[in-house]
Structure 1
Amino acid sequence: MRSTLSPPLPVPARPVDHVIEMGEASAQALVLRETVLDYKTLRLRVGRLAAWLAREVPEPGARVATWAAKGELACLMPLAAARAGLVHVPVNPLLKHAQVAHILSDSGAVLLLGTPSRLASLREGDVPEGCRCIEEADALAQTAQMDEPLPPSAADTADLAAILYTSGSTGRPKGVMLNHANLWLGAESVAQYTQLSAQDRTLTVLPLAFDYGQNQLFSTWLAGGCVVPLDYLLPRDLVRAVERHRITTLAAVPPLWVQVCELDWPAETAAHLRRLTNSGGALTPDLVARLRALFPEARLYAMYGLTEAFRSTYLDPALIEERPTSMGKAVPHAEILVINDAGEIAADDEEGELVHCGPLVGQGYWQDPARTAERYRPAPSASHTGGIAVWSGDRVRRDAQGFLYFVGRRDAMIKSAGNRISPQEVEDAALASGLVAEAVALGVPDARLGQAVHLVVRAAIDAPEAQARLPRALMKELPNFMQPKVIHWRSALPTGPNGKIDRAGLAAEIRASLTGEVPA
């Protein structure tokens, strides 16, 4: 399946499954709970899984989904599906049946591979007609019986390879389409500016369904390094894993860094870490100072990105203490422009919209031309790259030295603990319970989460009963990261001149109640 929004490629790209062709055959590539795979074995298993997928799903471009723990299947599927000419749809393991049902239906997935407990949680009607469900253990057992593995693909780099679902400010999750070039060049970009090497060992604690998490695999393998997946239960598990596996590279989001800094790190264990990378929210100056003190031997990379264009900027670690709040400058293969309200390049220190141009730009939203047209638009006339650009909606400013600083978000997206949360998804779940008549979900600044979900509601039934039942109803329908931190019960919700609920007024009121300030 060919993508339709391919920008010009100023640099060469290869099919994404070639990332595992770079490591030495005998070098460790993937550390699983039950075994360690060297690169020779990793290539064999990816080839066998690709052969099995091609047999089970012979239609080129068909979508295959995974909803599994961070084991062999989750790590190999992104490359095996691409090698088989299929489009991989990874599902966040934290999601629950309603979100999974939407992703399966929207993507048109014909195959879902998952753990028994996750597959058992799906209800009648959640799995579309024509979509088969296979437990991951069965899939891996059948894969092991394949005699002829598929060789590295010769796919056109403009062919779609993955659809990553991400929440928007309104509506259900939308699927960002990524082709082989997007994934290959993203891996090359990160490996280049973070200076990954064959001696590096990456602890992958982030979900592999996210672009940030998935790239940990690709960039490490492209550099010939070793990946150690970890589904941790407690933050202390990180300390043990870093010590046991002599981890050099750790990627996380700000709330996890807060937990990391609260742990007792033996000096010899902390010294293993040579590289810390952050995205999914800004680091505070205090958190930067704590991380630098705790891991003095590690380079700390502050980064900014969005799924629609993968990664946009990073700050040189040598400048992290001098410019702790800066987003830095463009990553390799990205052209970043700040466009003011007049549609021109913003002047130094003038606020404008961050526009991302170049070959890291995704291919639009799956089967959603309207929302694609809103976010993916022709590059500004000042762009050297041209083609289609991502207009991020984020307001930034650029100083005289070219460093970027985040100002604010244009839309109502809630970003909590590195997760992008659609307010409407939370509101829809509350309304579907039948317990409330009106609901507004808001992102409120939170020291640990970045933003916490606050839900403002008006009861539809007896108020005490609704208050008792709603938290339990939301717990059944929404993943943990979407759960409201606070539910505010009101007898009426305020409206503006247009008759719509005054979201901005509610947000200001709640912030004021938490800080003691008078709303503007």
Structure 2
Amino acid sequence: MTTGYPPTGNLQPDPMPYPLDQLAERGDAQARALVLRDRTLTFGELRERVSLLAGWLADRFDHGQRIATWAAKGELTCLMPLAAARAGVVHVPINPLLKRAQVAHILEDSGSAGLIATPARLKSLQVGDAADSCELVSEEDIFPMAVDHGRSLKPSSHDPADLAAILYTSGSTGRPKGVMLSHANLWLGAVSVAHYLGMASDDVTLAVLPLSFDYGQSQLLSTWYAGGCAVPLDYLFPKDVAKACAKHRVTTLAAVPPLWVQLCEIEWSEDASRSMRRITNSGGALTPELITSLRGIFPKTRIFPMYGLTEAFRSTFLDPDLVMEHPTSMGTAIPFAEILVIDDQGKIAEPGAEGELVHCGPLVAQGYWNDSKRTAERFRPAPVASAYGGTAVWSGDRVRRDANGLLYFVGRRDAMIKSSGNRISPHEIESAAMATNLVAEAVAIGVPDYALGQAIHLVLRAKSAEEAGVETKLKRLLARELPNFMQPHAIHWRETMPINPNGKIDRAALAKELGA
């Protein structure tokens, strides 16, 4: 794997990757590392718990086997990334919002040898959702068993290029695909983020994002790299976030645009905002209006707009000093990333010209698990102009770079819907609608929405125009099969669908009609 760095002149921190589990060794033993609901773990206690969990995993599963977790934020989901890495197994975190159908796909696709989940989630599984060879373990039993087992594993010496995790992300043409991340990918991602955010050992990060996403895991990993403290929070209402910021004197808060919209609509006490040093955004662009609102709440806080993709962790960030002057910019490359704008002829695009964003360097993932076809489509040789060479991620996103080197987003090549910070496959929603046997044709489209980023509009042709209560039945079945963030916000019925010259449903015409 490439660990050299292009001569960009940018400060590049500590380029040597280490086994991911060594993040537990970063902080002072007496310093706070993790604030749970019922207790706080120091870094010394964090190391002990990671060692115990790793020992149990190593004796229970073979090296390289995939172990999935499906649970809300807590000790298990926070420690598992490090414990699995130390034990030499591959962690597969599953979004707790997913329903059994998506979970069954992830378990089958990853070939998971074990699933650790809450009792209620385990109970929701049906026969055949997990293979007979997949051991089902209740989250409540894990640490008692690990303590009784009594075996601790010391920090590992695994090859940083070894596979450490598989993160499942939606694709535009099918079911979620697993992005393979190495120890080095995750370690250098933590180093990079901690560096450009300027994090320190006295920082407190409120982790409100799901830990099944790379942006969510970064809340923990970058904080622990800096020796700081993480506070995981599953919130019900936006005001819960503000209360937690005041209670824990939070210095770092990461969110996606829909959550920032909600947070800007509530009252923030001085106690809640006073300690905030930085806020970060990814999963969609901040609008100038939203930036102005955030500046009103956090007048002295540094705002970091960022752009990333699971296949390469994070690609760019905008210097907070430039946010008010260039509010729509994606910024420039983060440490350890080389970001090129490539035109249709495969050359570096001229300043101001549109091209494809191509990410090169050691943050590039190892491809898609068990999917050589889609890996070959997205992970391709780096452009000739790359200082890194090797494999690059061709994002499919269209961007332009101005004369000052700042990047600006233009549009997407694929049909992905981004709603509430989630990347959603239209195909997955359409397949679920078709599986109800209530519709003959289905098209899911993302329509711009201030609060959501994009709202999901589902255009349908019914099988039978005479059948009563079709929409009610459809909504009930979709609620059973799809997680909340995939539920359509609007349903449109058509007697016929528009057809393009190729004889296919004209998605572009429908999108234009809906204002997408």
Q: Same fold (TM over 0.5)?
A: yes
Q: Does 1:493 align with 2:497?
A: yes
| Structure 2 match to 1:385 | 388
How far does residue 281 in structure 1 lie from its aligned partner after superposition? 0.2
What residue identity is the alignment partner of 1:482?
Answer: M
State the match for 2:9 in structure 1.
none
Partner of 1:125: 128
Amino acid at match of 1:274: R
2:165 match: 162
**Counterpart selection for 2:49 from 36, 45, 49:** 45
1:263 pairs with 2:266: yes
Question: Which position in structure 2 is the counterpart of 1:222?
Answer: 225
Task: Give the aligned partner of residue 273 of structure 1.
Answer: 276
* Contact 1:7/1:388 (<8 A) preserved: no
Deviation at 1:146, TM superposition (A): 3.2
Q: 1:481 corresponds to which residue?
A: 485
SS at match of 1:124: coil
Displacement of 1:173 after TM fit? 0.1
Matches within 5 A, 1:339-358: 339-358=342-361
1:417 and 2:420 matched = yes
Aligned counterparts, 1:270-419, within 5 A: 270-419=273-422
Question: Secondary structure of the equivalent of 2:368?
Answer: coil
Aligned residue in 2 for 1:515: none
Q: Aligned residue for 2:257?
A: 254
- Give 1:55 deviation, angstroms: 1.1
Q: Secondary structure at the match of 2:175?
A: coil
Equivalent of residue 429 in structure 1, options 432, 437, 440: 432
Does residue 139 of the first structure (1) align with residue 142 of the second (2)?
A: yes
Matches within 5 A, 1:52-131: 52-57=56-61, 59-131=62-134
Q: Distance in 2 between matches of 1:135 and 1:344?
A: 53
Unpaired runs of at least 5, structure 1:
1-5, 513-520
In 2, the alpha carbon distance for the partners of 1:197 and 1:405 equals 30
- Residue 269 of structure 1: CA displacement? 2.0
In 1, Cα distance between equivalents of 2:146 and 2:512: 55
Secondary structure of the residue aligned to 1:354 is strand
CA distance in 2, matches of 1:112, 1:355: 35
Identity of matched residues, %: 64
Paired position in structure 2 for 1:3: none
1:95 alignment partner AA: L
Equivalent residues of 1:8, 1:387 under 8 A apart: no
Could you say if the C-alpha distance between residues 7 and 488 of structure 1 is closer, same or farther in structure 2, counting changes exceeding 3 Å? farther
Q: Note if 1:17 corresponds to 2:54.
A: no
Name the CA distance, whole Å, in 2 between partners of 1:440 and 1:268. Answer: 47
Quick one: distance in 2 between partners of 1:16 and 1:54? 16
**DSSP-derived class of the 1:206 partner:** coil
Quote the offset at 1:56 in angstroms: 1.0
How far residue 364 of structure 1 moved from its aligned partner, in angstroms, is 0.2
Aligned residue for 1:470, secondary structure, equals helix
Distance 2:36 2:241 in 1: 15
Distance 1:480 1:273 in 2: 31
Secondary structure, counterpart of 1:214 in structure 2: helix
Q: In structure 1, what is the Cα distance between the partners aligned to 2:109 and 2:135?
A: 15
* Cα distance in 2 for residues equivalent to 1:115 and 1:235: 25
TM (normalized to structure 2)?
0.97
Alpha carbons of structure 1 residues 471 and 34: separation in structure 2 relative to 1, 3 Å:
same
- SS of residue paired to 2:245: helix
Query: 1:314 is matched by which residue type in structure 2?
Result: F
Question: What is the CA–CA distance in structure 1 between the aligned matches of 2:472 and 2:439, rounded to whole Å?
Answer: 12
What is the alpha-carbon distance in structure 1 between the residues aligned to residue 149 and residue 201 of structure 2? 30
The total of aligned residue pairs comes to 506
Q: Quote the offset at 1:267 in angstroms.
A: 2.0
